[in-house]
Structure 1
Amino acid sequence: MRNINEDTITQAVLAAMAGCKQPRLRTIMVSLVQHLHSFAREVELTEDEWFKAIQFLTAVGHITDDVRQEFILLSDVLGLSTLVTAQNNAKPAGCTEATVFGPFFVENAPEYALGADIANGAGGEPCHVSGQVRSLDGRPLAGVRMDVWQSDEDGHYDVQRPPTETQPHTHRARGRLRTDAQGRYHFRSILAQPYPIPHDGPVGKMLEALGRHPWRPAHLHFMLEAAGHERLITHVFRDQDRYLDSDAVFGVRSTLIAPWVRHEAGPAPDGSVQERPFWTLHYDFVLNPQATTVAASGTDTAGARA
């Protein structure tokens, strides 16, 4: 590897990886090196620009912790998360579409009985959510595990709020439920509101420099898992939101947009009487059986997470 120059460096790096014993890793790294080097040549990358990029990635790493995943935000706003999700989640017509995972999922969220209030004190107008989960053949799916999470009316997820003496850190607007024998689900939460992704860090500075806003349209996150079916990670978006056509992370699908209906104070779907106006959302999910995974993407994506 002597006398390397700008014309020979790419082949030298590729040759250095010839001993890789993992075919998939080698395929990925060869393509990565080729594209990175082509990019640097195409834009005639300067040393100052290269160093600023290193500083940017370093800052992304420094702000990332168990609560905030700046690298996922970076992937999201560059459209990479949506690209990976789309190419790994091709499904037959009629199945509910997948979309980006987002950085605020929490493992082992508290389990609730159907009909419970998962808001658990999160600020926002009350909302009753219901629907049914079916297989592609129309069969209701019982016992489907549903993880649900959302932001509060201020645009914050529970993990973004530090604990205080009056409000100890706890799970809010987040929970896990299971569908009943007819595949039905229902719970109480709060009205979804648009919110900005965290933009006080390096990703936010990048968006500002690019003339982009950090806002996401109002939505609920869902992750559904049922035996014999692909796991589904998706959102349900609130119709008529101003950011549906400019989602900062490119996650909107027209099939995932649903009406939130406002009701005056009075009887609610669960039989309770609401003393103030409330909202309802009804949305049905259709899961893809693992045996019918679409092969067009070239991979079996059962259980994939983006």
Structure 2
Amino acid sequence: MIIEHESMVTDAVLRAMANTRDPRLKQIMDGFVRHSHAFLREVRPSEEEFERGLRFIAALGHHTHETNNEVVLAADVLGISTLVTLLNKPLSQVESAAALLGPFYRANAPECALGDTIARSETPGSPLLVSGQVRDGDGTPLAGAVVDVWQASPIGLYENQDPHQENMNLRGKFRTDADGHFHFRSVRPAGYPVPTGGPIGELLVAQQRHPYRPAHMHFVVSAEGHETLITQVFADDSDVLQSDVVFGVTAPLVGTYRRHDRIDGFVPEGVEAPYYTLDYDFVLRKGVPTFPIPPIP
């Protein structure tokens, strides 16, 4: 097709892709072309703005490396990651709510025994005792389920961001017992700003948005015969619960990080008051377990 007017461009591209053999690829690319062309017609970028946009996209790749994934971060702060999560895993009255993976997940976290601490480095902070149960939608406990957990430190840094933390600090995998229970020790996480040294930081400044996430712990919970749950559990006393920069907070994911100013019942040796407890159960839906590709090594 010889283009005679801008209105012909979209149809020309769609015709050029018409022989795509993979029907799903064709659906995705047709939709992308239609909507992206409609976006351009709506905002009518100047040639200079178009070039700046292309440089912005290229910069996402340039700022992606072994300790930071700017592409994932872009999807997060634009709400894309949360929208995809909720489109695929709508909020349910039965199964646990899902949340975005985030840019700091790593594979091969250390296998830990129930009750172990995931604070391997000298990690000053308030002790945190985490416990819960993994069940299916019928209420049946899931023995041998894997609870993969990671978190930021009390100063708001993941270990790959902080040279003072040991490799894999504040990360670990636990297997539930015969009754589906798990428990482990950690330190209370802090809220933190997402990385702002790249193009996403510049975008947040231009939009007059703060870069902060509320304090939370990440979980990937998996069991044979069930869909893998990727989620987060947020601290109920965070001052940015209503304005999480990546829009990840949903009501079911706000946990109770309970403060204890004196020893209350049995606590592991070495834990002194004040300390915190978090008791949170996970309910998985039946299906086939799949596992995320780590954004960083």
Q: TM-score normalised by the shorter chain: which range applies?
A: over 0.9
CA distance in 1: counterparts of 2:4 and 2:167, whole angstroms:
57
Unaligned stretches of 5+ residues in structure 1? 291-300
Q: Which residue of 2 aligns with 1:159?
A: 160
Partner of 1:62: 62
1:228: how far off? 1.0
Alpha-carbon spacing, 1:181–1:14, altered in 2? closer, same or farther (3 Å): same
Instruction: Return closer, same or farther for 1:302/1:180 CA change in 2, 3 Å cut-off.
Output: closer
Structure-1-length-normalised TM-score = 0.90
Separation (CA, whole Å) in 2 of partners of 1:106 and 1:288? 24
Q: Please show how residues 216-295 of structure 1 align to structure 2 within 5 Å.
A: 216-264=213-261, 266=263, 269-290=266-287
What is residue 133 of structure 1 aligned with on the other side?
134
Taking structure 1 as reference, are residues 74 and 137 closer, same or farther at Cα in structure 2, changes over 3 Å only?
same
2:96 partner SS:
coil
**What is the CA–CA distance in structure 1 between the aligned matches of 2:161 and 2:277, rounded to whole Å?**
26
Distance 1:302 1:27 in 2: 26
Percent identity among equivalent residues? 45
Alpha-carbon distance between aligned partners in 2 of 1:268 and 1:55, rounded to the nearest angstrom: 58
Q: What SS is found at the alignment partner of 1:274?
A: coil
Query: Secondary structure of the residue that 1:245 maps to in structure 2?
Result: helix
Q: 1:41 aligns to what?
A: 41
Distance 1:279 1:199, change over 3 A: same
Q: Identify the residue that residue 100 of structure 1 maps to in structure 2.
A: 100
User: What is the alpha-carbon distance in structure 2 between the residues aligned to residue 160 and residue 137 of structure 1?
Assistant: 41
Contact 1:128 1:269 in 2 (8 A): no
Structure 2 unmatched ranges of 5 or more: none
> Could you tell me which amino acid in structure 2 is paired with residue 143 of structure 1?
G
Contact 1:266 1:273 (8 Å CA) reproduced: no
**Distance verdict in 2 for CA 1:30–1:88, change over 3 Å:** same
Output the CA distance in 2 between the equivalents of 1:268 and 1:57.
54
Shift of 1:169: 4.5
Give yes or no for the alignment of 1:75 onto 2:75. yes
The one of 203, 211, 236 aligned to 2:200: 203
Q: Match of 2:248, SS?
A: coil
Aligned counterpart for 2:186 among listed residues 182, 186, 189: 189
Q: Which position in structure 1 is the counterpart of 2:31?
A: 31
Matched with 1:110 is 110
CA shift for structure 1 position 4: 4.4
3-state SS, counterpart of residue 66 of structure 2: coil
Question: Given the two structures, how large is their TM-score scaled by the length of structure 2?
Answer: 0.93
What is the Cα deviation at residue 59 of structure 1? Answer: 0.9
> Are 2:153 and 2:189, in contact at CA under 8 Å, matched by a contact in 1?
yes
8 Å contact kept, 1:260–1:280 = yes
Counterpart residue type for residue 25 of structure 1: L
What per-residue deviation string (whole Å, max 9, x for no partner) do you get for residues 144-202 of structure 1?
Answer: 0111000001111011124xxxx574111111111111111100001021111111110
Q: Is the 8 A contact 1:239 1:260 kept in 2?
A: yes
Superposition deviation, residue 268 in structure 1: 6.6
Residue type at the aligned position of 2:64 = T
Secondary structure (helix, strand or coil) at the match of 1:235 reads: strand
Residue 18 of structure 2 is matched in structure 1 by 18
Letter in 1 for 2:58: T
SS in structure 1 of the partner of residue 111 of structure 2: coil
**Deviation at 1:15?**
0.9
In 2, distance between residues paired with 1:3 and 1:148?
54
Q: C-alpha separation between the residues in 1 aligned to 2:43 and 2:54?
A: 17
How much has 1:274 moved relative to structure 2?
Answer: 2.7
State the distance in 2 between where 1:259 and 1:70 align: 31
